[in-house]
Structure formats: structure tokens, C-alpha cells
Amino acid sequence: MFQTDPPRPAQEVLPTMYDLKSEDPEEPGLPDEFHDFQPQLLRETFTPPDYPKDEVFIAADLNVYYDPNHTQWYKRPDWFAVLGVPRLYQGHDLRLSYVIWQEGVDPSVVVELISPGTEKEDLGQSLREVNQPPTKWEVYERILRIPYYIVFDRYSDELQVFQNIAGRYQSMTITDNRVWLPELGLGIGLWLGNYQDIERLWLRWYDSSGNWILTATEKAERFAAKLRDLGINPEEV
């Protein structure tokens, strides 16, 4: 752990997601279209088999507050998922941020989409400055110990996947642009196809049979095709 401050007094109440800022207007970096579409596809196809939908929280570009001794410190993953927590905050509310000391469950997987200028930070090659918060890599690897860390560079179409073993990230072997993540019961890979009317390599999830998990649109299209094969007009169903 990187926490060096003494424990807070027991009577002190820590801030919640309602107290912590969700956005920082002075933070550099503007999301582009890819940073919109790619997280959507990941969300649509992330269906871990051992957890019902209401026990899986998925977020993109949302602040994760990780240190109760430094309550303003946060990281903002491009995409992450948490298993075993309510989909809605306290069962009824959309989250403004994800506060580790309030939720009690760390993310199970994080995805970062490399942008120009973020490669060193995303791949743990940047150094921590004196009196500054820990780097993104340090937080994911050593503080939260997130089991899987996925990095995708859309400019080179390079996929890198790291597994946390004894508090250190180890690179996983990727075969045919795919890798199986046993703790999730899912695989992640690069799929060449059309999403949002854009043909390219996309990052998406696949199941234990090696099949790409379908989006709602793809399911509807397959159902309509089956009806047409039976001579039924889908619009009349």
C-alpha cells in the first residue's frame, strides 16, 4: 500500500460520492468518438456468467476514489467493471462516482484506451513525482490490485492484457488477438466488424465457447432473420 498517513479518527465521517467532485474542468484530455463507441460495445457484451445483471456495475470515464486518507485522489478509467456490487447505488440511484471505501469492492477489470500522450501513463512507464498521487499503474496494480488490466491502442491495433499475480502485473499471452480471463468467465479479443456503422477492429468480449457475445441489436437482427427464413414478416410479429 502507498498510504503513509496515520489512520483517521474513528469518529470522522468520510465523504461519499455525493461529496466528491465527478468532473474536473481543469483536467486535460477530451474524449473522442472512439472513446464513446468502444466503451459502449464493451458494456453491451460484458456478461459474466456467474453474476446476475443487478450485481454487476459497469462504468466509463467515471472517477474512482481509492484512498480514504486522501479523499480527493482519484483515477478515471476509460472503462471498468465491478462484480458483486449492486448495479444501482443503494439499489435505486445512478452513481456520480465510485468510492472504494464506501462500496467495499474493488473493480475486477479495467480497460484503458491509449490516446496520443497517454501511453507512458497507461503502461506504467511514467514516474511518480514527489508529493504527488500515485500513478495510474500503481493504483491499479498495488493499491486496488485489480485482477485484470487491459490496454488497447487503436492507432496500432495492439492489445495488451495484464493479470495481477501477487500484487504485480504480468503480461498474458494473446493468441489470435484473444485471451481468456478465468476470474471473469469471459474472454477479451479484437473483432473485425461493423459497430455504429464503422468498420474496424473493436475490443469486445466472448464466451466460454469462443463466440462473440451479441449486442441487443445483433440479437434482434438474428431473430428477424430466423423469422424471415420461416416465411414470417418480422414487422408483423
pLDDT in tens, 121-146: 777 776 777 778 999 999 999 999 99
- Does residue 29 or residue 11 have the better pLDDT? 11
Does some domain include residue 2? Answer: no
C-alpha cell at 207: 464466451
Looking at the structure, do residues 185 and 227 belong to the same domain, yes or no?
no
137: Cα separation from own chain's centroid:
14
Give tens-digit pLDDT for 97-118. 999 999 999 999 999 999 877 7
Is residue 42 within 8 A of residue 206, CB to CB? The reply is no
Does some domain include residue 224? Answer: yes
| CATH number assigned to the domain comprising residue 173 | 3.90.1570
Q: Give the pLDDT confidence score for residue 209 in this predicted structure.
A: 97
pTM for this entry: 0.85
Q: Give the pLDDT confidence score for residue 212 in this predicted structure.
A: 98
Looking at the structure, do residues 39 and 152 belong to the same domain, yes or no?
yes
The most confident of the ranges 22-26, 63-67, 90-94, 126-130 is 63-67
Q: Which residue has the cell 499471452?
A: 173
Q: Give the pLDDT confidence score for residue 162 in this predicted structure.
A: 98
Looking at the structure, do residues 76 and 122 belong to the same domain, yes or no?
yes
Question: Degrees (nearest 5) of the Cα angle 167, 84, 169?
Answer: 20
- 139 DSSP 8-state letter: I
> Cα dihedral sign for 158, 164, 165, 167?
positive
Q: Give the residue from 100, 98, 68 showing the smallest Cα distance to 2.
A: 68
Looking at the structure, do residues 223 and 146 belong to the same domain, yes or no?
no
**Number of H-type helices and E-type strands within the chain:** 5, 12
Q: Give the pLDDT confidence score for residue 154 in this predicted structure.
A: 93
Looking at the structure, do residues 155 and 225 belong to the same domain, yes or no?
no
Does some domain include residue 17? Answer: no
- The whole domain housing 225 covers 210-237
Total count of domains within the chain: 2
Between CA 22 and CA 61 the distance in angstroms is 10
Looking at the structure, do residues 97 and 113 belong to the same domain, yes or no?
yes
Looking at the structure, do residues 218 and 141 belong to the same domain, yes or no?
no
Looking at the structure, do residues 128 and 237 belong to the same domain, yes or no?
no
Does some domain include residue 85? Answer: yes
Q: Please, where are the H alpha helices in 48-182?
A: 100-103, 119-122, 136-138
Q: Which residue has the cell 511518480?
A: 128
Q: Give the pLDDT confidence score for residue 237 in this predicted structure.
A: 64
Show Cβ contacts of residue 33 under 8 Å, excluding neighbours closer than 6 positions.
none
Looking at the structure, do residues 215 and 200 belong to the same domain, yes or no?
no
